[in-house]
Amino acid sequence: MLEFFQVGFSYPNAPADAPALRNISFSLRSGTVTVLLGPNASGKSTLLLLAAGLRKPRRGAVRLENRELTQWPPKSRARQIAFLAQWNAVPDLTARELAAHGRYPHLSARRVLGPRDREIIARALELTGALAFADRQLGELSGGQRQKARLAMAVAQDTPILLLDEPTTYLDVRVQLELAETLRQLAAAGKTVLLALHDLPLALRCGDHALLLQEGELLYDGAADALPRSGIIEQAFGITGIERSNAQCLPGTGICPPK
């Protein structure tokens, strides 16, 4: 289990009264998809960096299996947590070669893939819908196909916990829904998934649980389907919830921008 205990974090040279995160406490539930929501600069990416062990809290603690996350050796930590950060680079690799990078935490110093590694890579490519173009160069693929290959890399890492930072950015609606379904399948198989999203309707569609940040504070920690009725979305995003729906409303939520 991954847990945050009264976590606070500030970047160097940031004003003392404007920490990136303050007093954050929650735990991730196994076998569920947790969506991390909030306006720009609310602290979502910072929280994910802390959850991945790539930043150390200034206050409080992040613990994995009751042990502070920063005390885990990097390779051991990488066998427990896969982190898919925002990334615009297009390396000179095939989709299969990119997916193979997910196996590195499990390999010996020689980094030689064995039959089981290749089987896990193929399964990850199939699960994410990337098998059909596995041997094509990433530079030849669409943005959605590249994102599927990147997700295959994270899945091939075969960790209990999967963290994703805005994985649906620049993807069309069909690919977003496919990715959401893949995450649901991973959770059904027992994985713990935490992803930051800007898309509220998609978050409410794929999330079991929701965390909502505003200016570094955790405003909501509860069931995703209860979030629209909580009034917290209106508070965090400055939008108005109404009963009726129109073309400007978020589909299926009854949440509309102010008139």
Q: List, as one string, the DSSP characters of 53-112.
A: TSS--SEEEEEETTEEGGGS-HHHHHTTEEEE-------S-BHHHHHHGGGGGGS-TT--
φ, ψ dihedrals at 50, nearest 5°: -65, -40
Instruction: Please give the pLDDT value at position 258.
Output: 41
Query: Which of the residues in the chain have pLDDT under 50?
Result: 242-249, 251-259
Give the pairing type, strands 67-68 and 59-64.
antiparallel
Residues 201 and 41: beta-carbon distance below 8 Å: no
Say how many residues make up the chain. 259
Angle between helices 115-127 and 143-156 (to 10 degrees): 140
Instruction: Please give the pLDDT value at position 175.
Output: 87
Any residues with CB less than 8 A from the CB of 226 and at least 6 apart, and which? none
Instruction: Please give the pLDDT value at position 239.
Output: 74
Residues 157 and 102: beta-carbon distance below 8 Å: yes
Which H, E and C letters describe 147-173, residue by residue? HHHHHHHHHHCCCCEEEEECCCCCCCH
Helices (H), 112-215: 115-127, 143-156, 173-188, 200-206
Instruction: Please give the pLDDT value at position 17.
Output: 62
Residues 218 and 226: beta-carbon distance below 8 Å: no
φ, ψ dihedrals at 142, nearest 5°: -75, 170
Instruction: Please give the pLDDT value at position 240.
Output: 63
Instruction: Compute the distance between CA of residue 41 and CA of residue 209 in angstroms, rounded to an integer.
Output: 21
Give start-end residues of each CATH 3.40.50.300 domain in the chain: 1-80+159-175+185-229
Residue with tokens 């499990």: 106
Instruction: Please give the pLDDT value at position 88.
Output: 75
Instruction: Please give the pLDDT value at position 212.
Output: 97
Residues 80 and 161: beta-carbon distance below 8 Å: yes
Token pair belonging to 188: 């059904």
Residue range 145-196, pLDDT digits in tens: 999 999 999 999 999 999 999 998 778 898 899 889 999 999 999 999 999 9
Instruction: Compute the distance between CA of residue 99 and CA of residue 141 in angstroms, rounded to an integer.
Output: 15
Instruction: Please give the pLDDT value at position 248.
Output: 44
189, with CB counted inside 10 A (0-12, 13-18, 19+), is exposed
Residues 21 and 7: beta-carbon distance below 8 Å: yes
- Check whether domain 1-80+159-175+185-229 has CATH 2.40.50.100, yes or no: no
Instruction: Please give the pLDDT value at position 143.
Output: 87
Instruction: Please give the pLDDT value at position 251.
Output: 45
